[in-house]
Amino acid sequence: MKIVFECPNCGKVNSLKEHASNRYKLSEKIGTEIHVECSHCEHKSDIHINRVYAKADPIIVSIVAFVLSSASILISRYLAQTYWRDNILVDLRTIEVVGLGFIIPILILSIALPTFGKRAEYFNSYRL
């Protein structure tokens, strides 16, 4: 999750280096008025903590999605090579094992991705 603000001068989005789960905890760290400098136009200004908002970091989301998707493919490939036999009808558990190896990382991914958005929504819902 990235904590960002819009520059009052140029309107571009900048990020803060501080991390907190909600605005109250962020205000305890840095106060309700934050002295910031825009990384684009280098305009220095004070902004209120309520003008700061959170969004899911797309780099982290992409990395998690890539790792779990790759894990799904690699695990199912490994299980297929390990347990696959010439006569598949003799042992149908092979299909179940390979299927579970493919589905479990996808289930973890389907739980993890919405969590990033919920954390940002929680931060944005709390106002001072």
In sequence order, the β-bridge partners of residue 34 are: 47
Cα 51 to Cα 4: distance, rounded to the nearest angstrom: 9
Last residue of a domain, which of 17, 33, 55? Answer: 55
**How many residues are recorded in the chain?**
128
Give how many domains the chain has, as a whole number: 2
How much is the average pLDDT of 14-43?
Answer: 91
Residues 63 and 104 in one domain: yes
Q: Which of 101, 11, 106, 38 is nearest to 67 (CA)?
A: 106
85 and 26 in a common domain: no
d(CA 72, CA 74): 6
Q: What is the rounded CA–CA span in Å between residue 80 and residue 98? A: 6
Domain assignment of residue 62, given as a range? 58-125
Helix, strand, coil percentages in the chain from 3-state DSSP, rounded to 5: 55, 15, 25
Show which of 10, 31, 55 is a domain's final residue.
55
Same domain, 44 and 64: no
pTM here is: 0.69
pLDDT for the residue numbered 51: 92
Residue 92: band (very low, low, confident or very high) from pLDDT cuts 50, 70, 90: low
Residue 50 has pLDDT above 80, yes or no: yes
